[in-house]
């Protein structure tokens, strides 16, 4: 049930949406789960301008209980909100606590609806809210009075089950009281340990016998910190690296407003090779909430992945034949699942092309169906989608407003099964500066085959393994210059945003961003196609490294294939955007206009927080809000 969140986006609201955590997917939805979803979606829809809402009664083993719970939920909604009007969203910058405020008819007071987001594992997050509110009544999701709440000095228990607060206060006073409340039990900070973007096999200084090396290129541990609470926070951020590593610097000061996130880079002095690289992050914080000084200390442990594209060397003898025999020294990005599907992907580059290799463990390979009128590659077929984000405009930053963080997207498509059983494949354009995101009318060829690209797909039925091997001209990826982005002995590299998705007919898509600890409240409909579906945002990094001579791969002429012409690209003329207009998620039938991609921002010098983007670019027309309705 995402109707409410879609309406919220159209109205410029910032209610966050999460998919169920990975551990919670596939379990049976209980009547209570359904009641929670109906309540939150209805509240969000009403807040977004809906005049009413209806829901179908489902059938199944829990049908009777579901009908009863929905009836009680709708009765409570009608009783609590039926005579009021939406006033404001209470916590627009926080992804962990949500609230909507409604005014009662004839100025008779106000009603607030509060709930927390479920955790990444699907289990409810619980919190305590202490406020100076006087004479307030609290009710549960079914309209029952909550026992044990002191009306003169209430302490409220919050969870993913919404509660109603009714007060005689005006909406402005109730809003101020809730914004100044002290919330305990929820971590106000979230951490993402980003991938290490340089290879660790380089041997500079150190003794091989103890396996401790000083990387030949300057290497960083990068940590993203987000304030997910409702008050400004500041403090100290400290990283404890993997065992036997040494850091050039391991702590920094930080200061974040509610909802704000920032990446902090810590220099690495020496490393020890291992199978995993656990990083412990500690943060201390201090804030002033409602006149009270609040201190806290939090810790997280996450494994740092390796994500780097190395240059092709003369020894590589790279060929695009699908065997992957020439990728033994590559740095692999691996995504595992509890099902029978696993995948890993690697990249290399030279001065002319980007090379990709993928190895997918799967029971079967299902290419595009020739009988299908549309090529819905995200369902009932196998394909690999990947995307890059080079620019850092303000509207591309994840936060409490809609964002689009990718500039170009591609699809590795098993396009056709030949009569001899081999796979004819395509590298398809999905979107770029000239092809609208989600606006291409051709749902078979999409943006057309990439000119000059090569792809070979080999399937080993005995081992249950599918190999992809690909070459893409660098000219097809705007501002993608691996040599200029590579690290040196004195400067960090300049990584770019990157992520990939394995679509497979065996079940849910495997997402690199999910394996890289991307926050699940950054599920997004504008990072990957199709734009009607939520995927983890492309808030991971790929770095570039240079070792020795950069060889140029001479590829033989490609074999003859069935011609696939690129469909014509059409755009809709739009008026120049006004300044300071917030972006929004456009409807599917409103494709963006093409615009050139600017040059990348300079590489940051040294460690510390990466610079915040300066909003010097105009907002793309497809990210503008709709015209006012009459």
Give the whole-angstrom CA distance, residue 562 versus residue 424. Answer: 9
DSSP codes of every residue in 148-187: T--SSS-EEEE-SS-EEEEESS-HHHHHHHHHT-EEESS-
Task: Sketch out the chain's domains with CATH numbers.
Answer: 3-184 (no CATH), 189-303 (2.60.40.10), 311-570 (2.60.40.1190)
Beta bridge pairs of residue 536: 523
Which tops the pLDDT comparison, 235 or 128? 235
Backbone φ, ψ for residue 169 (5° rounding): -70, 155
110, two tokens: 């106000």
Task: Check residue 611 and give its pLDDT.
Answer: 38
Give the whole-angstrom CA distance, residue 520 versus residue 535. Answer: 9
CB atoms within 10 A of CB 151: 12
Task: Check residue 140 and give its pLDDT.
Answer: 94
Class of residue 374 by CB neighbours under 10 A (exposed 0-12, middle 13-18, buried 19+) = exposed
Characterise 107 by phi-psi region: left (phi > 0), alpha (psi -120 to 50), beta (else): left
Beta bridge pairs of residue 383: 503
pLDDT tens profile 283-335: 999 877 666 677 889 999 999 999 999 999 988 889 999 999 999 889 999 99
Task: Check residue 618 and give its pLDDT.
Answer: 55
Mean pLDDT within 486-513: 92
Between 24-33, 373-382, 553-562, the lowest mean confidence (pLDDT) is in 24-33
Task: Check residue 601 and give its pLDDT.
Answer: 40
379 has pLDDT over 70: yes
Say which residues have a Cβ less than 8 Å from residue 3's Cβ, sequence separation at least 6.
Answer: 41, 45, 53
Model confidence, pTM: 0.83
pLDDT tens profile 398-428: 876 668 999 999 999 998 888 888 899 999 9
CB of 490 closer than 8 Å to CB of 500: no
Residue at token pair 């590298």:
427
pLDDT tens profile 52-102: 665 555 545 556 667 788 889 999 999 999 888 999 999 998 988 999 999
CB of 620 closer than 8 Å to CB of 439: no
Mean pLDDT within 552-579: 56
Between 153-167, 198-212, 588-602, the lowest mean confidence (pLDDT) is in 588-602
Task: Check residue 619 and give its pLDDT.
Answer: 57
Task: Check residue 514 and give its pLDDT.
Answer: 95
368 has pLDDT over 60: yes
Provide the pLDDT confidence category of residue 547 given band limits of 50, 70 and 90. confident
Task: Check residue 573 and give its pLDDT.
Answer: 42
Task: Check residue 571 and give its pLDDT.
Answer: 46
Report which of 235, 265, 271 is spatially closest to residue 250, judged by C-alpha positions. Answer: 265
Q: HEC profile for 332-384?
A: CEEECCCCCCEEEEEEEECCCEEEEEEEEECCCCCCCCCCCCCCCCCCCCCEE
């Amino acid at each position: 049930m995402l109707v409410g969140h879609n309406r919220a986006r159209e109205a410029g609201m910032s209610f966050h949406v999460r998919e169920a955590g990975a551990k919670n997917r596939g379990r049976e939805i209980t009547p209570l789960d359904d009641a929670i979803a109906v309540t939150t979606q209805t509240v969000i829809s009403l807040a977004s301008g809906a005049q009413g809402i209806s829901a179908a009664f489902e059938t199944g083993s829990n049908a009777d209980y579901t009908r009863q719970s929905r009836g009680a939920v709708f009765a409570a909604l009608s009783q609590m909100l039926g005579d009021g009007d939406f006033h404001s969203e209470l916590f627009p910058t926080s992804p962990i606590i949500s609230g909507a405020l409604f005014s009662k008819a004839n100025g008779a007071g106000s009603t607030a609806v509060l709930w927390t987001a479920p955790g990444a594992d699907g289990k409810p997050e619980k919190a305590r809210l202490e406020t100076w509110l006087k004479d307030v009544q609290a009710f549960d999701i079914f309209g029952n009075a909550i026992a044990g709440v002191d009306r003169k000095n209430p302490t409220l228990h919050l969870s993913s089950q919404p509660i109603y607060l009714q007060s005689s206060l005006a909406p402005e006073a109730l809003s101020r009281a809730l914004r100044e409340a002290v919330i305990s039990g929820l971590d106000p900070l979230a951490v993402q340990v980003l991938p290490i973007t340089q290879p660790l096999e380089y041997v500079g200084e150190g003794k091989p016998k103890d396996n401790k090396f000083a990387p030949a290129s300057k290497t960083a541990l990068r940590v993203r910190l987000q304030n997910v609470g409702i008050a400004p926070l500041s403090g100290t951020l400290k990283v404890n690296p993997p065992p036997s590593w040494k850091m050039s610097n391991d702590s920094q000061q930080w200061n974040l407003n509610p909802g704000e996130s920032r990446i902090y880079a810590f220099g690495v002095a020496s490393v020890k090779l291992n199978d995993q690289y656990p990083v412990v992050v500690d943060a201390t914080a201090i804030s002033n909430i409602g006149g009270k000084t609040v201190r806290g200390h939090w810790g997280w442990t996450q494994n740092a992945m390796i994500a780097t594209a190395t240059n092709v060397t003369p020894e590589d003898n790279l060929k695009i034949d699908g065997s992957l025999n020439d990728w033994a020294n590559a740095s692999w990005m691996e995504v595992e699942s509890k099902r029978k599907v696993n995948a890993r992907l690697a990249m290399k580059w030279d001065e002319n092309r980007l090379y990709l290799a993928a190895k997918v463990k799967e029971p079967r390979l299902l290419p595009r169906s020739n009988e299908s009128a549309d090529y819905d590659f995200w369902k009932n077929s196998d394909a690999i989608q990947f995307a890059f984000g080079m620019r850092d405009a303000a509207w591309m930053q994840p936060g409490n407003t809609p964002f689009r963080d990718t500039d170009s997207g591609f699809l590795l498509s098993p396009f056709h099964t030949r009569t001899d059983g081999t796979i004819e494949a395509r590298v398809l354009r999905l979107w770029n500066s000239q092809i609208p995101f989600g606006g291409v009318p051709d749902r078979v060829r999409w943006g057309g085959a990439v000119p000059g690209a090569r792809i070979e797909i080999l399937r080993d039925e005995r081992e249950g393994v599918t190999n992809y091997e690909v070459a893409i001209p660098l000219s097809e990826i705007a501002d993608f210059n691996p040599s200029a982005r590579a690290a040196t002995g004195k400067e960090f590299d300049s990584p770019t945003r990157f992520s990939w998705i394995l679509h497979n007919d065996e079940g849910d898509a495997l997402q690199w961003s999910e394996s890289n600890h991307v926050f699940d409240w950054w599920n997004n409909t504008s990072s990957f196609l199709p734009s009607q579906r939520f995927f983890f945002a492309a808030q991971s990094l790929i770095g570039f490294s240079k070792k020795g001579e950069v060889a140029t791969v001479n590829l033989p002429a490609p074999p003859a294939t069935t011609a696939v012409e690129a469909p014509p690209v059409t755009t809709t003329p739009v008026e120049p955007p006004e300044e300071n207009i917030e972006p929004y998620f456009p409807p599917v039938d409103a494709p963006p206009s093409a615009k050139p991609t600017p040059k990348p921002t300079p590489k940051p010098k040294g460690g510390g927080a990466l610079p915040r983007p300066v909003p010097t670019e105009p907002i793309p027309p497809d990210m503008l809000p709709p015209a006012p309705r009459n």
